[in-house]
Amino acid sequence: MDYIFIVNPKSRTGQGELLWSQLEPELKKRRVSYEVRMTGRKKDAERIATEITADEEEHTMIVLGGDGSLNEVINGIKNPSKVTLGYIPTGSSNDFARGMGIPKDAKKALELILNSEKIEKLDVGELVLGGKRRRFLVSAGMGFDAAVCHEVCISKWKKILNRLKLGKLSYAVVALNRLLKDQPVRMEIRLDDGSVHRFERAYFAAFMNQKYEGGGFKFCPEASPSDGKLDIMVAADLSKKKILCLLPTAFFGKHTKFRGVTILQCRSAEVSTGSTLPIHTDGEPIFLRNEMKVRLMEEKIRFITE
Ligand SMILES: Nc1ncnc2c1ncn2[C@@H]1O[C@H](COP(=O)(O)OP(=O)(O)OP(=O)(O)O)[C@@H](O)[C@H]1O
């Protein structure tokens, strides 16, 4: 099998490059047939994936990077059903790897890819905003979680905590800060089963393909990336003090039994809000809107798993 590695050398504040330099000799030693494409800047992984898949042939791509790089690759791929994907997590939040049970250790993750014979067909989420589309593998969200993603991307905390090997904590630190600033809004969610769910004071809605987002918050403990469904978590109609108490329980998925937390499932949904909110896909902040559509694509992507 020919592997195409897409490597973000800057992932986890520059550690991606070091990790790749430790893995590549192993590929050579084992005479693995591969080529490597390094990303040089933002959106490179997307461009590279588009280039590779333009021929509509079958390809095996291995991403070395964080959830952001993985998101770029899934967005660049022309037809997800023609691609087999492998993943070596070298990001700071690594929610995809956590959900899929991929080893955090890069060498072990490579071993899994080279030795595994198991393929799981994963659902691919798609966010539709007017004429624009963005795919996701982990989650898409509107409101507080997207505001946190945005602030993490621009804050100094991520770099500092990455250096201390505490990268995933950056989401928790920023979440506390954001909670003090954000105001809840009116939200209506229409699901493909015809049901309509209205919330007077919603903080956010997370549409989850994986169990975890935001660096380890297990927002939807029952979510599965291959069940043909998106799990939804809405936090609404509760005080900020209560959210503060609930957030730590969300690390263990224990928040779902409390009032103010609603869990739903859908294949597609339309959301509208009383005022404009930030929106993210896979932790990458993208737009400010008061409407969005979320759905799963017909095509699935093959993923190398344990
Ligand atoms: N050579 C590069 N220089 C600067 N930025 C890059 C480069 N290559 C990729 N990027 C950008 O870095 C962003 C973040 O990378 P990635 O998600 O791989 O790592 P991370 O931020 O450490 O992890 P996480 O997303 O899990 O927090 C990507 O969205 C990508 O656009």
Cα 12 to averaged position of ligand 1 atoms, centre (Å): 8
Cα 75 to averaged position of ligand 1 atoms, centre (Å): 14
- Which residues, at least 6 apart from 241, have a Cβ–Cβ distance to it below 8 Å? none
Pick from 288, 292, 293: nearest CA to 277: 288
Task: Yes or no: say if 139 and 282 are a contact pair by the CB < 8 Å rule.
Answer: yes
Q: Is the CB of 12 under 6 A from ligand 1?
A: yes
Q: Is the CB of 302 under 6 A from ligand 1?
A: no
ipTM of the prediction greater than 0.85, yes or no: yes
Cα 304 to averaged position of ligand 1 atoms, centre (Å): 22
Taking 70 as the threshold, does the pLDDT of residue 152 lie above it? Answer: yes
Q: Is the CB of 163 under 6 A from ligand 1?
A: no
Q: Is the CB of 66 under 6 A from ligand 1?
A: yes
Taking 80 as the threshold, does the pLDDT of residue 35 lie above it? Answer: yes
Q: Is the CB of 40 under 6 A from ligand 1?
A: yes
pLDDT-derived band at 165 (thresholds 50, 70, 90) equals low
Q: Is the CB of 192 under 6 A from ligand 1?
A: no
pLDDT-derived band at 256 (thresholds 50, 70, 90) equals very high
Is the pTM for the entire model greater than 0.90? Answer: yes
Cα gap 262→182, rounded to integer Å:
19
Strand order in the sheet with 59-65: 34-38, 3-7, 59-65, 83-89, 301-305, 118-122
Q: Which residue has the higher pLDDT, 155 or 247?
A: 247
Lowest mean pLDDT among 105-119, 131-145, 172-186: 172-186
For ligand 1, atom 12, the nearest C-alpha belongs to 42
For ligand 1, atom 2, the nearest C-alpha belongs to 41
Cα 68 to averaged position of ligand 1 atoms, centre (Å): 6
Question: Which part of the chain has CATH 2.60.200.40?
Answer: 126-298
Q: What confidence tens digit (pLDDT) does each residue in 121-145 have?
A: 999 999 999 889 999 999 999 999 8
Q: Is the CB of 69 under 6 A from ligand 1?
A: yes
Atom of ligand 1 minimally distant from the CA of 39: 8
Cα 150 to averaged position of ligand 1 atoms, centre (Å): 14
- Angle made by CA atoms 186, 190, 191, in degrees to the nearest 5: 140
DSSP label of 142: E
Pick from 179, 140, 95, 120: nearest CA to 295: 140
Question: Which part of the chain has CATH 3.40.50.10330?
Answer: 3-116
Cα 155 to averaged position of ligand 1 atoms, centre (Å): 14
pLDDT-derived band at 160 (thresholds 50, 70, 90) equals confident
What is the domain class of 3-116 according to CATH? alpha beta
Q: What confidence tens digit (pLDDT) does each residue in 4-29 have?
A: 999 999 998 889 999 999 999 999 99
The CATH classification number of 126-298 equals 2.60.200.40
Atom of ligand 1 minimally distant from the CA of 8: 8
Q: Is the CB of 9 under 6 A from ligand 1?
A: yes
Cα gap 305→121, rounded to integer Å:
10
Taking 90 as the threshold, does the pLDDT of residue 228 lie above it? Answer: yes
